[in-house]
Amino acid sequence: MSARLIDGKAIAADIRADLREQVQRLPVQPGLATVLVGTRPDSVTYVNMKHRACAEVGVRSVRVELPESVSEAELVGRVRELNTDPQVHGILVQLPLPPHIDEERVLAQVSLEKDVDGFHPVNIGRLAMKNRDPLFVPCTPLGCIELLRHSGTAIAGRQAVVLGRSNIVGLPVALLLLRENATVTVCHSRTRDIAAVVRQADILVAAIGKPEYVQADWLRPGVTVIDVGINQKPDASSARGYRLVGDVDFDACRRVAGQITPVPGGTGPMTIAMLLRNTVRAAQRQVQNG
């Protein structure tokens, strides 16, 4: 038996096509501003991907690029300018920021209405609380839920295990699964006998950043696996000298799982689709509220 693939690339393409239509029906062109501090190659790559995706669906995008040495005050000043810019509906501060800058203070400056990354402390606080609705939910976690939905995986009442508890993936994914009424377990580097915990899972979300870490014999047969990991694995046969693998040993695990996301082509494209969706919704909301 082989797991059904959850094709994030195809699902994300459908979402983008739908967004393109929504954008055409809007009285304004939605705008996304990215703020990049420094020149970390991975951050540059991610920002470039986001701008390309914006262009594809008709979202205007503007780049703010600041030197690694920028002061927190100057960065905050730029964010505030974007807050008042009527052509900008969403603001994304690319993380991580350099160590001399207080990440939370900067993220807290993004206007709640433009916080399309969902990292404003108030949006995170609302995500953690019952009966409170964040204006935006972080994109990678939201993409995981969307993949579960598209794959027809029931969430309510099922056991979900999340590997990882980072601010940008693990913890918000766990909070979202809880909101969807899963029974949720969060594992991390201090978890003992992780295999036994994973074996309880009807739904497994792996977000630990360890190449092919999750083994096939940890899985309950039929489990739905969402692999968030994006890791480089040395590969002499590739021109770049490496290939991308997830946190799950895909070839072995697909023989046990019921459904599984590939890497690449799983959660990665969904993250960007969710960013676009958040940006379009931000524009829709700002149009409605005048």
Ligand X SMILES: NC(=O)c1ccc[n+]([C@@H]2O[C@H](COP(=O)([O-])OP(=O)(O)OC[C@H]3O[C@@H](n4cnc5c(N)ncnc54)[C@H](OP(=O)(O)O)[C@@H]3O)[C@@H](O)[C@H]2O)c1
Question: Residue with structure tokens 């309510």?
Answer: 156
**50 contact, one of ligand X, a second copy, none, CB 5-8 Å limit per kind:** none
Which residues make Cβ contacts (< 8 Å) with residue 190, sequence separation at least 6? none
274 vs 286, beta carbon nearer ligand X: 274
Assess contact for 34 and 68: CB atoms under 8 A: no
Window of 75-83, 164-172, 224-232, 240-248 that interacts with a second copy by CB under 8 A = 164-172
- Chosen from ligand X, a second copy, none, partner binding at 169 (C-beta under 5 to 8 Å by type): ligand X
DSSP state of 102: -
Burial letters for 53-85: b for 16+ Cβ neighbours within 10 Å, e otherwise?
Answer: bbeebbbbbbebebeeebebeebbebbeebbee
Catalytic residue list contains 202: no
Q: Compute how many residues bind ligand X; rule: CB under 6 A.
A: 25
Any catalytic annotation for residue 117? yes
How many C-beta atoms surround the C-beta of residue 219 within 10 A? 26
Adjacent-strand bridge partners of 73: none
Cβ-based nearer residue to ligand X, 129 or 287:
129
Does position 122 interact with a second copy (CB under 8 A)? The reply is yes
Looking at 173, 197, 207, 276, which residue binds ligand X (CB under 6 A)?
207
Which of a second copy, ligand X, none does residue 164 bind to, with CB < 5 to 8 Å depending on kind?
ligand X
259 belongs to the binding site for ligand X (CB under 6 A): no
Residue at token pair 């986001």 = 50
Task: Name 212's Cβ contacts closer than 8 Å, sequence gap at least 6.
Answer: 231, 233, 245, 246, 247, 248, 249, 250
Our CB check for ligand X shows the closer of 49 and 76 to be 49
**Which DSSP symbol is given to 71?**
-
Exactly one of 157, 221, 222, 241 binds a second copy (CB under 8 A); that residue is 157
Least separation in angstroms between residue 123's CB and a second copy is 8
Tell me if 111 contacts a second copy by CB under 8 A: no
199 is an interface residue for a second copy by CB under 8 A? no
Q: Which two tokens stand for residue 177?
A: 């699964």
Residues that bind ligand X in the complex, under the rule CB under 6 A: 140, 163-166, 168-170, 187-191, 194, 207-210, 228-231, 267-268, 271
Please give the positions annotated as active site: 50, 94, 117
